[in-house]
Structures are given as C-alpha cells and as structure tokens.
Amino acid sequence: MKTIDELGDLRGKRVLVRSDFNVPLDGTTITDDGRIRAALPTLSKLLDAGARVVVTAHLGRPKGTPDPQYSLAPVAARLGELLGKEVPLAGDLVGESAKDTVAALGDGEIALLENVRFDARETSKVDAEREELAAELAALADAFVSDGFGVVHRKQASVYDVAKLLPAAAGDLVLNEVRSLSRATTDPERPYAVVLGGSKVSDKLGVIANLLTKADRLLIGGGMVFTFLAAKGHSVGASLLEEDQVETVKGYLATAEENGVEIVLPTDIVAADSFAADAPHQTVPADQIPDGKMGLDIGPASGELFGAKLADARTIAWNGPMGVFEFEAFAGGTKAVAQGIVDATANGAFSIVGGGDSAAAVRKLGFDEAGFSHISTGGGASLELLEGKTLPGIAVLEN
C-alpha cells in the first residue's frame, strides 16, 4: 500500500481523510474517545506537512438522511481539544457548506464534514450511486488518505470508490492495523492462542472455521460458549443458545480434534436469575447450569484456566468479552482474560485486542493499553482479517 510519504509534497494540497469516529455517545457526551485519539498521528502528520485536511467520517446508523442525534458536532469539539486547534464542522457533506468550509482552509488547517451516512449513496449497493457521491467528495480534495480501519471491510463511497478517483494512500493507523494483524494471520509465532467471546457463534462462523486451520488453541467464552456446551450434550438452562448452530459447532469440535487444535471451554459459569446488573447469581459447574438460570460470565476457575492456557503463548488474538462486563458482577471473566494477556505480553507474547467490545472492555476495566501489543480500532474489520478475507478498502489501496 502507498504511504502518506509517497504522496509527495502536500503543502497547500487538500487531503480528504476517511477516519473512523463512530464513538459511543451518552446524549452529546462522548463516553470513549479511543477512536478519535487513534486518528491523531495521521492527522497531525498531514497538518505538520502543511496540508489542508478535510475529514469525513460516520457516526451511528442515521439511515441515509440527516439526523441531529448523529451529528458529528461532539466529535469536532473533542478533536479540536485533542489537536489544540479549532476544527470547524461543515453543515453538510458535499453541499454549499462543505464547499465553503473547505475553501476557507489555510495550510495546516483542518475541517470535518458532516456525517457521511447522512447521504444514502454512501452505503448504496448500486455502484453508480456510490460512485456519484465519491466524485462529489473527490471534487473537494487533491488526494485521499484512508485511515478508518473500522470501515475498510465495507465497499462504501468514502472508503472504496473515492480511492479510485484521487491519488490514494493508507494512513498510519491503517498501516499499523494491517501490519499488526498480519502477524496473527501470516505465519504467527507459536503457540498461537485465540480467545473468542461475544454473544453469538453465528457472528464468528468464518473466523472459527479459518482458525481451526491456523491456531494452536481456541479459548471460548461469552454467550457463544453455551452453543459449544450444548454441542457437548450439556444443558445450558436459560442461557443464550443458538440451537440452529449446534450441529455446526459439533463439526468444529470434530475438526479441531482432527487438526490437533485445543478447544478450551470454561469449567464453571456465573449463572444469574435474570439479565440485570443486580440479579441474584451463583457460580456453578459449566455442565450443571440449573434450569431457568442464565450464564452471564465464565467463573473464577475458568478465568484461572484461561490465564494458564495463555501463559506460554507467543501470539494471542482476542475478540469478544467473556461475559456481560458492563455489569460489575459479571466482569470477572473478562478481567481474568485481559490480565492473562497482559501477563503473557510482558513475557514476550505478541497480543492483539480485536477492537469493538474487547477494546471497550480494556478501557472500562481500567487496564493500561500499553500492556497489550496492539489494540485494534475495528471489530468487524479485524474479525474479517482473522477470517482470511480480502477487505475492499485495503485491496483498493493496493491496486
């Protein structure tokens, strides 16, 4: 992929940057600015080079029409605070306000266009519609930098189509993501352990199938574990269960055995009366979840087991929490796994936290991000790379 340095002298040039500013909000308050902070190195590099930086990004799912609750105004304010300079927000994406805002930029100045998903053409399945929007975005710039790793798995106008219309390069964030994740997908140092959690097996079917040919050890937690337990013939009470995936998981268990891949399942479960932060709960053996009880976390013995299984790993990838970490009573398993990865990293392992809920858990539970080798900004994109897929937003930069 071409880098920013290969775009040549950018002083006075208008550079369109696709960032990922899809941050969580409580009203208009950003509750986790990790993705904005992750964008700073690329933006600062462009600003220091004298470029006139025009940033496009999305927030939420506004369904292709302007929606005030998804305005990027809070992002513009926070980005300005972090950069130490004003970041004006255009009132639209490619309309008169956008054109005027870009025209007013001086060298080393930055502006943010309004939510790119306020325009339905951004995510259109019709090539011509996406290309039309891409042409309007390209008219605002002289070069394009792709730096929103969280969206490179999407064939969207501001990610894919615009890269074909302008001199294009990968930003530092995207380069770092691809290089880091490739260490877990291309000849990883072994033992290679993967921790998978989250709610559903069906969300990770392709990843599991691919890892059964690549990983040495799969540690399974989160809501998806109950489908694995059911596949082994255990009752899971009222826990989340994808009955239509039980046979698929039986096949995975058989393939793992054939390939010599160790599948590590929890030995105990924290089972609750209901899905609530203050629900009465107890720790029970994983194969003895009572009827009517739902598992909301792996138990303490499982946390110790998972930590032991990570201790000698040389490469670790983690995607998905072990339980409902947002509720303190059910955060123990995720804490144990995070600590196990930190300890292994301190002993020389290369560790990747696969974005999304896993990255949010690291921050919410108070872990120092420096304790992990790489924390991805893209949950879906990192999953698809682990699955072995070609990502359109990356492929277009390689052509």
Which one of the listed residues 37, 200, 232, 363 is annotated catalytic? Answer: 200
Question: Do 324 and 295 touch, CB atoms closer than 8 A?
Answer: no
Domain boundaries, the chain: 4-172, 181-387
Confidence class of residue 49 from pLDDT cuts 50, 70 and 90?
A: very high
| Res 381: pLDDT | 86
Question: Average pLDDT, stretch 210-220?
Answer: 94
**4-172 shares its CATH topology with 181-387:** yes
Residue 385 has pLDDT above 80, yes or no: yes
CATH of segment(s) 181-387: 3.40.50.1260
Which one of the listed residues 35, 52, 155, 335 is annotated catalytic? Answer: 35
The DSSP H or E segment spanning 285 is: strand 281-285
Which one of the listed residues 150, 354, 380, 393 is annotated catalytic? Answer: 380
Question: Average pLDDT, stretch 372-378?
Answer: 91
| Res 199: pLDDT | 86
Architecture of domain 4-172: 3-Layer(aba) Sandwich (3.40)
Residue 31 has phi, psi (to 5 degrees) of: -95, -15
pTM given for the model? 0.88
Active site residue 364: no
340: left (phi over 0), alpha (psi -120 to 50) or beta: alpha
| Res 218: pLDDT | 97
Active site residue 8: no
Q: Is 179 annotated as a binding residue?
A: no
Question: Average pLDDT, stretch 57-67?
Answer: 96
3-state SS, residue 296: strand
Q: What is the number of H-type helices and E-type strands within the chain?
A: 13, 16
Active site residue 52: no
| Res 378: pLDDT | 83
Question: Average pLDDT, stretch 167-196?
Answer: 93
Residue 399 has pLDDT above 80, yes or no: no
Residue 266: cis peptide before it, omega within 30 degrees of 0: no
Q: Is 326 annotated as a binding residue?
A: yes
Which one of the listed residues 356, 378, 379, 393 is annotated catalytic? Answer: 356
Instruction: Give, to the nearest 10 degrees, the angle between helix 332-346 and helix 300-310.
Output: 20
